[in-house]
């Protein structure tokens, strides 16, 4: 009955009875303006935005959305009125979000009210947003007082969100079916708007404070459904961590600080909401490993926003100098990064993953350029020592006079040219972690005996020192030389060999890995084109066939260098066999073996549509979404958004 009355009242207004039925001069003027616009009030609907336009608006109003989410969701969760909805608008009238348990048969959906639409008087005539934004005050508007029919079945309560007296930042509209309308809902709308204003004001002040500190990085988190959502983060964080500032729209902390098994200590503290003060901790990020002084605290503003966490970081200069000075690299490579579908390689990966779980020493053997150092990092990251140091040294890079001091360190005055403060060695730096001894076959015999004793006794003395230092280090050694032959020539100790090679991993050369050569070529081309800002480059069928027949004496490293050299001097988007042979020159004639069959060329991924490329990337990266995003040259936020668009999330 009431619904019929509302429709009759609305029809009466359009028959010219506005002066008698409308409640204020502002509303009468708004209807007159709407009449003058020749709007089809029976069919008019708000303008729909494209997905891109809506995403840009949400990005612009990120702070409004963050602060509104908790305030409004908290209200919705504590109300018993299931039909009540809250609409969040930008100051331009874009409906950013609808709060409440809406469904396809919901009264709001049936009225064709949804997010991603722009409400304006020009398009739909008088409506709660247009009237409220013009008057800059709270407005109650029954459905029949709206100019267009689609709003007729509800009752609407508008309240502006103002950051200053003269600046409307956004607004909310509490909506409810007309038969459930109640004047008290206008007070609810005003209260919600004021709560959001206070939340924004709070975070603006926090943001001003954190941006003024040029030494300290500050992060304010909101933990929401298992996500660590970044509310505020200042530029100092990215400077301290040495990473490029990403798009902070919908940013999570996991996109900045690598998730477990990396940074296990950090994430454990965060999960437990452990309060710490000025704690020195290493953090692994995309650019490497950095030591910081960290403080963690919790915050709660009872009325307006949820439990959260604040993180303050400042650089630890001494620890970073030690780290950069004494470690050759950090363990950033994992088994998820391994490229390959060849059965021989998959078996090697399987054995390596099992070996990582033990604490026995490992010897990795393989030709130069097959990726022995990458496997060492992957094994460390899959081990129980993954949150401890990974320290690497190339034994072939130091003379026999220096290798002992590099491994064990030295005391002040130990030899001519020694530093006054002495030096810490690789064993001590790797304590409780992994020490990677690359090119172990080049270590001098006199050092081999000392190394053997350290492995047996778990203790050593610095060069020129008397004190025994205890260490707990897992050794991963690697060599491209045949250590058995070196033993026969008395160039390598047999007892050291057996101590180092409790577990033996043999990495096959690229020429024995079949179609994996095409996967590597595809990966390197994508990576190089992105780095050099070049358009996508493809290999011709003859070029692919050549890659499959070539013996690759330099293995993966040679393939990468070859492609980088060609792409750096190539303007066309196709690379043929001729370009590869020209690059190799006389070396090609010397190294090309007798004709051998090429590995079958896999399906052409360049012909895939967008969704198929995403599926292919996920398969190749073993469903690691971070790696798949990197593989496709996309940011994580863009990757996740596109997955949602494809219905793959």
Both 130 and 172 in a single domain? yes
3 state DSSP class of 78: coil
Whether residue 623 lies inside any domain: the answer is no
Phi, psi of 463 (to 5 degrees): -60, 125
Does 605 score more than 80 pLDDT?
no
Question: At which of 308, 326, 344 does a domain end?
Answer: 326
387 lies in the same domain as 524 = no
Q: How far apart are CA 516 and CA 535, in angstroms?
A: 24
- DSSP alpha helix (H) spans, 283-342: 317-326
Q: Where does residue 499 fall: left (phi above 0), alpha (psi -120 to 50 degrees), or beta otherwise?
A: alpha
Antiparallel, parallel or unpaired: β 95-99 and 85-90: antiparallel
pLDDT tens for residues 98-151? 998 766 667 888 888 889 999 999 999 999 999 999 888 899 999 999 999 999
Q: Which residues pair with 365 in a beta bridge?
A: 479, 506
The 10s digit of each residue's pLDDT in 319-378 is 454 444 444 446 788 888 888 888 888 999 999 999 999 999 999 999 999 999 999 999
DSSP string across 457-510: HSEE--BT--S-EE---EEEEEESS-HHHHHHTTSS-HHHHHHH-SEEEEPPPG
pTM for this structure? Answer: 0.48
Per-residue pLDDT at 120: 93
Q: Both 306 and 399 in a single domain? A: no
Quick one: pLDDT at residue 79? 85
Number of neighbouring beta carbons within 10 Å of residue 253: 20
Using alpha carbons, select from 130, 118, 157 the residue that is nearest to residue 141.
157
Indicate which CATH number applies to the domain containing 380: 3.40.50.300
pLDDT given at position 586: 64
Out of 480, 508, 536, a domain closes at 508
Last residue of a domain, one of 591, 607, 623: 607
Q: Is the peptide bond before 570 cis (omega within 30 degrees of 0)?
A: no
Residue 317, pLDDT above cutoff 70: no
Is the Cβ–Cβ distance between 472 and 458 less than 8 Å? yes
Residue 103 lies in a domain: yes
CA distance 249 to 110: 31
Domain hosting residue 157, numbered range: 2-206
Indicate which CATH number applies to the domain containing 156. 3.30.450.40
In a domain, 639, yes or no: no
Q: Are residues 24 and 101 in the same domain?
A: yes
C-beta of residue 477 within 8 angstroms of C-beta of residue 440? yes
Question: Does residue 451 sit in the same domain as residue 558?
Answer: no
- Contact of 575 with 559, CB cutoff 8 Å: no
Which token pair is 187? 């007070």
What mean pLDDT is reported for the chain? 82
| Residue 125, phi-psi category: left (phi > 0), alpha (psi -120 to 50), beta (remainder) | left
Looking at the structure of the chain, the number of domains it has is 4
């Amino acid at each position: 009955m009431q619904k019929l009355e509302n429709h009759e009242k609305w029809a009466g207004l359009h028959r010219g009875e506005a002066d008698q039925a409308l409640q204020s001069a502002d509303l009468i003027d708004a209807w007159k303006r709407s009449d003058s616009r020749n709007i089809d009030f029976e069919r008019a609907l708000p303008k729909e935005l494209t997905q891109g336009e809506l995403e840009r608006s949400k990005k612009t109003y990120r702070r409004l959305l963050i602060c509104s989410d908790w305030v409004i969701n908290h209200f919705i969760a504590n109300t018993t009125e299931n039909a009540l909805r809250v609409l969040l608008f930008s100051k331009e009238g874009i409906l950013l979000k609808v709060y409440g348990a809406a469904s396809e048969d919901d009264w709001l959906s049936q009225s064709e009210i949804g997010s991603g639409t722009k409400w304006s008087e020009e398009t739909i005539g008088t409506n709660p947003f247009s009237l409220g934004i013009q008057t800059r005050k709270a407005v109650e508007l029954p459905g029949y007082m709206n100019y267009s029919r689609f709003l007729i079945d509800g009752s609407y309560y508008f309240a502006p969100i103002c950051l200053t007296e003269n600046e409307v930042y956004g607004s909310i509209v509490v909506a409810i079916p007309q038969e459930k309308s109640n004047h008290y809902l206008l007070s609810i709308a005003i209260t919600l708007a004021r709560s959001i204003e206070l939340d924004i004001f709070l975070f603006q002040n926090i943001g001003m404070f954190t941006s003024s500190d040029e030494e300290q990085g500050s992060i304010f988190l909101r933990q929401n459904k298992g996500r660590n959502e970044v509310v505020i983060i200042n530029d100092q964080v990215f400077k301290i961590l040495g990473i490029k500032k990403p798009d902070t729209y919908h940013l999570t902390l996991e996109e900045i600080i690598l998730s477990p098994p990396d940074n296990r200590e950090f994430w454990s503290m965060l999960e437990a909401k452990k309060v710490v003060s000025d704690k020195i901790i290493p953090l692994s990020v995309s650019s490497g490993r950095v030591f910081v002084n960290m403080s963690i605290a919790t915050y709660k503003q009872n009325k307006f926003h949820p439990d959260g966490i604040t993180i303050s970081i400042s650089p630890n200069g001494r620890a970073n100098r030690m780290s950069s000075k004494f470690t050759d690299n950090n363990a950033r490579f994992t088994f998820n990064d391994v490229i390959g579908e060849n059965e021989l390689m998959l078996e090697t990966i399987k054995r390596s993953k099992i070996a990582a779980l033990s604490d026995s020493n490992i010897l990795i053997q393989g030709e130069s350029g097959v990726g022995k150092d990458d496997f060492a990092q992957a094994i460390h990251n899959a081990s129980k020592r993954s949150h401890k140091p990974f320290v690497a040294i190339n034994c072939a890079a130091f003379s026999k006079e220096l290798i002992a001091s590099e491994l064990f360190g030295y005391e002040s005055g130990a030899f001519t040219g020694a530093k006054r403060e002495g030096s810490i060695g690789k064993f001590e730096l790797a304590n409780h972690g992994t020490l990677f001894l690359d090119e172990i076959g080049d270590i001098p015999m006199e050092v081999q005996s000392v190394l053997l004793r350290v492995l047996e006794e778990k203790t050593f003395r610095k060069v020129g020192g008397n004190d025994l230092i205890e260490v707990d280090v897992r050794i991963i050694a690697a060599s491209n030389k045949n250590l058995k032959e070196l033993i026969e020539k008395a160039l390598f100790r047999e007892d050291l060999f057996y101590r180092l090679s409790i577990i033996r991993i043999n990495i096959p050369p690229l020429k024995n890995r079949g179609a994996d050569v095409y996967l590597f070529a595809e990966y390197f081309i994508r990576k190089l084109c992105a780095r050099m800002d070049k358009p996508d480059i493809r290999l011709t069928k003859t070029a692919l066939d050549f890659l499959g027949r070539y013996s690759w004496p330099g293995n993966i490293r040679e393939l990468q260098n070859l492609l980088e050299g060609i792409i750096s001097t190539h303007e066309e988007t196709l690379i043929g066999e001729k370009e590869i042979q020209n690059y190799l020159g006389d070396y090609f004639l010397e190294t090309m073996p007798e004709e051998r069959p090429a590995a079958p060329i896999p399906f052409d991924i360049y012909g895939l549509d967008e969704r198929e490329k995403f599926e292919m990337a996920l398969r190749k990266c073993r469903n690691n979404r971070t790696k798949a995003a990197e593989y496709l040259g996309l940011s994580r936020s863009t990757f996740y958004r596109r997955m949602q668009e494809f219905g793959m999330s």
